[in-house]
Amino acid sequence: MSTDLGWVADAMKQSVPWVRAAGVEFLEVAADRVVCALPDVEDQRNHVGGPHAAVLFGLAETASGAVGLASFAAEMGRVTPLVVRSEIRYRKLALGALTAEAVLGRKAADVVAELESGVRPEFPVECVIRDAAGVVTAEMTVVWTLRPAR
């Protein structure tokens, strides 16, 4: 498999309409780490002037999905990635543009080995959301599974 993962951003924008509609940008894409960004949009702010909680959640979930796609690209013909659960911890009011850094929480080889053994694997992706000043405003854990194709 090629180490060029530039295709991941295009794949996310084509397969997940919200990513395109929201204007998510992919700043960095590696097999085990993705950084995404969203601009500050006035119509997406909450009652205290920061991006709405749903915007923070959506950005981090998008970054986590891109990590899964990049990490398990070779498996995508035989599995469907699905979110099992997620937890977000809001730390501070976010102001301005946002970035979300998502990091694979298990070795991809271990996840694939579980899949090969007939177990439906789960893997966490840890996300850190920062505002325009670089302040950590939220942290999120998204647990994904690879469901075998039917």
Residue 64 covered by a domain: yes
**Predicted pLDDT at 3:** 62
Distance CA 108, CA 106 (A): 6
Model confidence, pTM:
0.94
Contact 38, 98 (CB under 8 A): yes
CATH code where residue 16 lies: 3.10.129.10
**Predicted pLDDT at 2:** 42
**Predicted pLDDT at 42:** 87
**Predicted pLDDT at 46:** 86
Distance CA 144, CA 140 (A): 13
Average pLDDT of adjacent 10-residue blocks, the chain of 150 residues: 76 94 95 95 88 94 97 95 97 94 98 96 98 96 95
- Residue among 39, 63, 60 nearest 51 (CA): 39
CA distances from 90 to 15, 44, 70, 139, 142 (A): 28, 17, 27, 7, 14
Which structural domain, as residue segments, surrounds residue 87?
7-148
Q: Domains in the chain: how many in total?
A: 1
